[in-house]
Structure 1
Amino acid sequence: MQGLLEAMAVDAGRAILDIYRAGASVSYKPDCSPVTDADEAAEAIILAGLSHHFGTIPVVAEEQAAAGILPDIDGGRFFLVDPLDGTKEFINRRDEFTVNIALIEAGAPVAGVVYAPALGVLYSAEKGLARKQVVAADFSRSDPVLIGCRNAGDRLVAIASRSHNCSETLAYLADHGITDFEAIGSSLKFCLLAEGIADVYPRFGRTMEWDTAAGDAILRAAGGETLTLAGEPLTYGKRHQQNDSEFANPPFVSRGRR
C-alpha cells in the first residue's frame, strides 16, 4: 500500500506545482477558508487512485466533506485525504504546503504519506516504520531512508503553526520553559518531529482530521505520539460530536520520544 499512496501523492503534487507556477484561482468556502483549483485537481487525482486500487475502503476527503459528501465509515477502516494542506502557504507563495493521505484503522492512523512538492521531500509510514525520500525536479525519487524521533533532552525545541498560532500555544511554551521554537506551515510539523529535528508540537487552534492524520501516522511510526490535553491518544473518525463539527480535532500535543 505504501508505494501506491506515495505514487498518488507525487501525481497530485505534480498537478499542484503546475498550478502553483502558473498562478492559482482562489475562492472561499462557507467557513471563509480558502480553496484553490490546485486543491480540487489534487483531490480528483487522489480519489481516482484510491478508487482504482482500494475501491472497497471509504474515503473522507476535505473538499468532498466541504460539499457535504461523507461516506459511511462505520466499518472502522477508511482513508483521510487533505489534497493541499497549507493552502494559505500555497496562496502566499511559501513552499511549505503538502499532500496528505492517511489510512485509519480502529480510530488510529496506521499508514500515511506527506509530500511537500515545492520542497521535493516525501515522508511515509506503514507497519510501524517511517521513511523519507527526496523527490527530484523530474519527480524521480531517491532510495528511502528510515527516520525516527530523537530522545528529548533538557532543552526542548518546539514547532508551532505559521498561520494559526495563538496565545494558548505561547502560554504552553512558557509554562514548559520552551524558548526554542520554529513556525512552519502544514503537516510538515509532524514530519520534523518524526525526523528528530524538533521535540514537541502543541496545537490549540482548530484542526480537522484530514489536516493531521497523515503526519500523525508518520510521527507514531517514528516513535512519537499525539495526545489530547487529557493525555489520551488523538483518535480519528469522530462523528456526531456534541460540541464540535464532524471530524474536528480537540487541542493536542504531538511529541517525539520523551
Structure 2
Amino acid sequence: MIREISQLARKAGKEIMLFYNGKRVLNLNTKRDDTPITSADLISHQIIVSGLHRLTPDIPIISEEGSVNFNKSVNYNVFWLIDPLDGTKEFLYHNSEFTVNIALINCGTPVMGVVYVPAINVLYAASNGKAWKEDGYGKRFFINVKKNYPPTVLVSRFHPDKYFLDKYLIKLEQYKIIYVGSSLKFCMIAEGVAQLYPRFSSIKIWDTAAGYAVAVAAGAKIIDWYGNVLIYGPFNSFLNPGFEVSLS
C-alpha cells in the first residue's frame, strides 16, 4: 500500500504547486484558531481523502481540514491521519519547506508514514520498520540517523519558543542551528542531516504523525519532556505535548 499512498501524496503535491507557482488563483482565509488556510490546503485534502476512501473504504480518516466527530474518533484503533498541507506559512512565504503528510495509525502508533516535499519533489516514507527517501524519479534510497559532533539542532521557523530553547541549548554547549518549517524536520533527522529537534509547545497530531513514522523507522527516538512516547489515540484532544527528537 505504501506505493499507492506515495503516489497519492505526489498527486496532492502536484496540485499544490499549481497554486504555489501562480498557475491557479490562491484564496486565503483564517481558521478559528487564527491559522491560515488556503485553497491549496483544501484541494490537497480532497485529493487525499478521495484516494484513501477508494483504497481503504473501511478505515476512518482524520484530516486537519476535515470535519471530524471527536467523540466518535476517540475510539478509532486504526485510522488515517493526514495534514494535506503542513507548513501553510512556509507555503505562503515561498520558502519551499511545506509538506504533504499521510500516516496510518494502529493502536496509537504511526506504523506507516509519507512526507512529500512538493517544491523540491522529494518524498520520505516509512513502512515495516524501514525508512527511505525518493527522488523525483521515484528512485529509493534507504535512510538512517547519523551521529555528528557538534550536533545540528533543528528549530521551528515560526515557533522557536526562545526562552525554553535558550535553556536547552545551554546544556549542549556546542551545536549548530538550522531553522526549518513543517514536518521536514523529522525527515532531516531521519536522513542524518541533523541530530536534535526540540519542540516545547503542544502541537496538533496531524503535524507530527507521518514525520514520526519516518524518523522512528530511521532510528530516531521521540519522547515528550517527561520521557513518554507520543500517543496517537485514544486521545483527550488532537494535541501532542512538546517533545524531543534525538538519536536513540
Task: Give the TM-score of the pair, scaled to structure 2.
Answer: 0.94
Root-mean-square deviation over aligned CA pairs = 1.4
Alignment of 1:44-55 (within 5 A): 44-55=46-57
Alignment of 1:11-90 (within 5 A): 11-22=11-22, 23-64=25-66, 67-70=67-70, 72-90=73-91
For residue 150 of structure 2, the aligned residue among 146, 155, 173 is: 155
Q: Which amino acid aligns with 1:113?
A: V
- Paired residues of 2:74 and 2:235 also in contact (CA < 8 A): no
User: Gaps (5+ residues) in structure 2?
Assistant: none
- Paired residues of 1:77 and 1:104 also in contact (CA < 8 A): yes
Paired residue for 2:208? Answer: 212
Paired residue for 2:197? Answer: 201
Matches of 1:175 and 1:63, distance apart in 2? 39
Paired residue for 1:92? Answer: 93
Structure 1 position 180 matched with structure 2 position 176:
yes
Q: Which amino acid aligns with 2:240?
A: N
Identity %: 39
- Paired residues of 2:75 and 2:234 also in contact (CA < 8 A): no
Matches of 2:107 and 2:37, distance apart in 1? 30
Matches of 1:205 and 1:40, distance apart in 2? 26
Structure 1 position 255 matched with structure 2 position 246:
yes
User: Gaps (5+ residues) in structure 1?
Assistant: 136-140, 241-245
Paired residue for 1:143? Answer: 139
Q: Which amino acid aligns with 2:47?
A: I
For residue 236 of structure 1, the aligned residue among 226, 232, 239 is: 232
Paired residue for 1:101? Answer: 102
* Paired residue total: 244
Give the secondary structure class of the aligned counterpart of 2:119. coil
Matches of 1:142 and 1:180, distance apart in 2? 31
Matches of 2:74 and 2:5, distance apart in 1? 20
- Paired residues of 1:125 and 1:218 also in contact (CA < 8 A): yes
Give the secondary structure class of the aligned counterpart of 1:118. helix
Matches of 2:54 and 2:68, distance apart in 1? 23
Task: Give the TM-score of the pair, scaled to structure 1.
Answer: 0.90
Q: Which moved more, 1:45-54 or 1:173-182?
A: 173-182
Structure 1 position 165 matched with structure 2 position 160:
yes
- Identify if the C-alpha distance between structure 1 residues 214 and 4 changes in structure 2 by more than 3 Å, giving closer, same or farther: same
